[in-house]
Structure 1
Amino acid sequence: MMFWYDHNVSGWGWFTMSVGMVLFWAVIIGVGVLLYRALSNPLGRTDVHAPPGRIPEQLLAERFARGEIDEDEYRQRLAALHEAPSPPKRA
Protein backbone atom coordinates (compact mmCIF):
# COMPACT_ATOMS: atom_id res chain seq x y z
CA MET A 1 0.00 0.00 0.00
CA MET A 2 1.41 3.28 -1.09
CA PHE A 3 -1.01 5.73 0.62
CA TRP A 4 -1.36 4.94 4.30
CA TYR A 5 -3.91 7.65 5.13
CA ASP A 6 -6.21 7.08 2.15
CA HIS A 7 -5.82 10.70 0.94
CA ASN A 8 -7.37 12.17 4.09
CA VAL A 9 -5.77 15.26 5.57
CA SER A 10 -5.69 15.59 9.35
CA GLY A 11 -6.41 18.75 11.34
CA TRP A 12 -2.73 19.71 11.34
CA GLY A 13 -2.63 19.29 7.58
CA TRP A 14 -5.49 21.74 7.12
CA PHE A 15 -3.89 24.18 9.54
CA THR A 16 -0.53 23.96 7.76
CA MET A 17 -2.13 24.46 4.35
CA SER A 18 -4.12 27.46 5.61
CA VAL A 19 -1.09 29.14 7.15
CA GLY A 20 0.93 28.37 4.03
CA MET A 21 -1.72 29.95 1.81
CA VAL A 22 -1.90 33.10 3.96
CA LEU A 23 1.90 33.42 3.93
CA PHE A 24 2.02 32.81 0.18
CA TRP A 25 -0.46 35.62 -0.55
CA ALA A 26 1.22 37.94 1.97
CA VAL A 27 4.54 37.50 0.18
CA ILE A 28 2.94 37.99 -3.26
CA ILE A 29 1.13 41.18 -2.14
CA GLY A 30 4.24 42.48 -0.34
CA VAL A 31 6.39 41.99 -3.44
CA GLY A 32 3.73 43.73 -5.53
CA VAL A 33 3.60 46.73 -3.19
CA LEU A 34 7.40 47.04 -3.08
CA LEU A 35 7.61 46.74 -6.86
CA TYR A 36 4.93 49.42 -7.31
CA ARG A 37 6.69 51.78 -4.91
CA ALA A 38 10.06 51.23 -6.58
CA LEU A 39 8.69 51.84 -10.07
CA SER A 40 6.54 54.84 -9.16
CA ASN A 41 9.38 56.61 -7.32
CA PRO A 42 12.57 55.57 -9.16
CA LEU A 43 14.97 57.99 -7.46
CA GLY A 44 13.67 57.39 -3.95
CA ARG A 45 12.75 61.05 -3.56
CA THR A 46 9.85 61.95 -1.32
CA ASP A 47 9.49 65.62 -2.24
CA VAL A 48 10.49 66.71 -5.71
CA HIS A 49 10.07 70.44 -5.06
CA ALA A 50 12.37 71.07 -2.13
CA PRO A 51 15.16 68.88 -0.78
CA PRO A 52 15.04 68.48 3.02
CA GLY A 53 16.78 71.10 5.12
CA ARG A 54 16.42 74.00 2.67
CA ILE A 55 14.64 77.12 3.76
CA PRO A 56 12.26 79.09 1.50
CA GLU A 57 14.58 82.10 1.38
CA GLN A 58 17.32 79.94 -0.15
CA LEU A 59 14.96 78.59 -2.79
CA LEU A 60 13.79 82.09 -3.62
CA ALA A 61 17.39 83.35 -3.89
CA GLU A 62 18.26 80.44 -6.21
CA ARG A 63 15.30 81.25 -8.48
CA PHE A 64 16.42 84.89 -8.57
CA ALA A 65 20.01 83.86 -9.36
CA ARG A 66 18.85 81.63 -12.22
CA GLY A 67 16.82 84.49 -13.67
CA GLU A 68 13.43 82.82 -13.20
CA ILE A 69 12.12 85.89 -11.34
CA ASP A 70 13.11 89.55 -11.50
CA GLU A 71 14.28 91.74 -8.60
CA ASP A 72 10.85 93.24 -7.90
CA GLU A 73 9.20 89.84 -7.68
CA TYR A 74 12.07 88.57 -5.53
CA ARG A 75 11.64 91.41 -3.05
CA GLN A 76 7.83 91.04 -2.98
CA ARG A 77 8.02 87.32 -2.31
CA LEU A 78 10.76 87.75 0.28
CA ALA A 79 8.62 90.33 2.11
CA ALA A 80 5.62 87.99 1.93
CA LEU A 81 7.71 85.19 3.42
CA HIS A 82 8.78 87.36 6.33
CA GLU A 83 5.21 88.55 6.99
CA ALA A 84 3.65 85.09 6.99
CA PRO A 85 3.73 83.10 10.23
CA SER A 86 6.30 80.35 10.11
CA PRO A 87 5.03 76.75 10.05
CA PRO A 88 5.59 74.62 13.16
CA LYS A 89 8.96 72.86 13.28
CA ARG A 90 9.06 69.10 12.75
CA ALA A 91 10.78 66.96 15.33
Structure 2
Amino acid sequence: MMFWYGNGMSGWGWFAMAAGMILFWGLLIAVVVLIFRTLDRATERHAERPARQGPTAPEQILGERLARGEIDEEEYRRRLAALRGGES
Protein backbone atom coordinates (compact mmCIF):
# COMPACT_ATOMS: atom_id res chain seq x y z
CA MET A 1 0.00 0.00 0.00
CA MET A 2 2.98 2.27 0.45
CA PHE A 3 4.05 2.54 -3.23
CA TRP A 4 1.01 3.78 -5.14
CA TYR A 5 3.01 5.17 -8.06
CA GLY A 6 5.29 2.33 -8.91
CA ASN A 7 8.11 0.48 -7.29
CA GLY A 8 10.65 3.17 -6.32
CA MET A 9 11.46 6.83 -6.61
CA SER A 10 11.43 8.88 -9.81
CA GLY A 11 14.38 10.88 -11.15
CA TRP A 12 13.13 14.07 -9.49
CA GLY A 13 12.88 12.29 -6.16
CA TRP A 14 16.51 11.22 -6.36
CA PHE A 15 17.55 14.73 -7.38
CA ALA A 16 15.65 16.31 -4.48
CA MET A 17 17.14 13.83 -2.01
CA ALA A 18 20.70 14.42 -3.29
CA ALA A 19 20.26 18.22 -3.27
CA GLY A 20 18.84 18.05 0.26
CA MET A 21 21.81 16.03 1.52
CA ILE A 22 24.29 18.44 -0.12
CA LEU A 23 22.53 21.43 1.46
CA PHE A 24 22.39 19.70 4.84
CA TRP A 25 26.12 18.85 4.90
CA GLY A 26 27.08 22.26 3.53
CA LEU A 27 25.07 23.99 6.24
CA LEU A 28 26.52 21.74 8.95
CA ILE A 29 30.12 22.39 7.81
CA ALA A 30 29.47 26.15 7.58
CA VAL A 31 28.12 26.23 11.15
CA VAL A 32 31.13 24.32 12.49
CA VAL A 33 33.57 26.64 10.67
CA LEU A 34 31.79 29.74 11.98
CA ILE A 35 31.87 28.42 15.55
CA PHE A 36 35.62 27.75 15.36
CA ARG A 37 36.33 31.16 13.80
CA THR A 38 34.32 32.90 16.51
CA LEU A 39 36.18 31.03 19.26
CA ASP A 40 39.53 31.80 17.61
CA ARG A 41 38.72 35.52 17.39
CA ALA A 42 37.71 35.58 21.05
CA THR A 43 41.06 34.00 21.96
CA GLU A 44 42.94 36.56 19.84
CA ARG A 45 41.08 39.47 21.43
CA HIS A 46 41.89 38.12 24.88
CA ALA A 47 45.58 37.74 24.01
CA GLU A 48 45.81 41.24 22.50
CA ARG A 49 44.28 42.93 25.53
CA PRO A 50 47.05 44.93 27.19
CA ALA A 51 47.93 44.19 30.76
CA ARG A 52 46.97 46.75 33.34
CA GLN A 53 49.70 49.27 33.71
CA GLY A 54 50.60 50.18 37.23
CA PRO A 55 52.48 53.20 38.50
CA THR A 56 55.75 51.93 36.98
CA ALA A 57 54.47 52.13 33.39
CA PRO A 58 56.52 55.26 32.51
CA GLU A 59 59.65 53.61 33.88
CA GLN A 60 58.93 50.49 31.83
CA ILE A 61 58.53 52.57 28.68
CA LEU A 62 61.79 54.36 29.44
CA GLY A 63 63.54 51.02 29.93
CA GLU A 64 62.14 49.74 26.63
CA ARG A 65 63.42 52.85 24.83
CA LEU A 66 66.88 52.26 26.32
CA ALA A 67 66.77 48.60 25.25
CA ARG A 68 65.82 49.56 21.68
CA GLY A 69 68.67 52.07 21.54
CA GLU A 70 66.45 55.13 21.15
CA ILE A 71 68.15 56.83 24.09
CA ASP A 72 71.57 56.38 25.67
CA GLU A 73 72.29 55.48 29.29
CA GLU A 74 72.89 59.08 30.36
CA GLU A 75 69.53 60.18 28.92
CA TYR A 76 67.90 57.17 30.60
CA ARG A 77 69.27 58.08 34.03
CA ARG A 78 68.34 61.74 33.65
CA ARG A 79 64.77 60.96 32.63
CA LEU A 80 64.42 58.26 35.29
CA ALA A 81 65.47 60.77 37.98
CA ALA A 82 62.95 63.27 36.63
CA LEU A 83 60.21 60.64 36.73
CA ARG A 84 61.01 59.71 40.29
CA GLY A 85 60.96 63.33 41.38
CA GLY A 86 64.64 63.90 41.95
CA GLU A 87 65.37 60.74 43.94
CA SER A 88 68.62 58.88 43.20
TM-score, normalization: structure 1?
0.50
| Larger relative helix fraction | 2
Deviation of 1:67 after TM superposition, in Å, equals: 1.3
**Structure-1 residue corresponding to 2:70:** 76
User: Mind listing any 5+ residue stretches in structure 2 that lack a counterpart?
Assistant: 50-56, 72-88
Aligned residues: 63
Q: CA separation of 1:10/1:44 partners in 2, compared to 1, >3 Å: closer, same or farther?
A: farther
Deviation of 1:36 after TM superposition, in Å, equals: 0.8
Q: CA separation of 1:18/1:75 partners in 2, compared to 1, >3 Å: closer, same or farther?
A: same
Match runs of 1:8-87 below 5 Å:
8-42=8-42, 45=45, 48=48, 65=58, 67-70=60-63, 71-73=65-67, 75-76=69-70
Residues 16-56 of structure 1, C-alpha deviation per residue, up to 9 Å, x if partnerless?
Answer: 011001000000000000111112222674x938xxxxxxx
Detail structure 1 runs of 4+ shifted over 3 Å in the superposition: none
User: Mind listing any 5+ residue stretches in structure 1 that lack a counterpart?
Assistant: 50-63, 78-91
Q: CA separation of 1:14/1:66 partners in 2, compared to 1, >3 Å: closer, same or farther?
A: farther
Q: CA separation of 1:66/1:21 partners in 2, compared to 1, >3 Å: closer, same or farther?
A: farther
C-alpha RMSD over aligned residues: 3.3
Query: In the aligned structure 1, how far is the partner of 2:40 from the partner of 2:21?
Result: 28
* Bigger Rg over Cα: 2
TM-score, normalization: structure 2?
0.52
* Paired letter, 1:42: A
Percent identity between matched residues is: 39
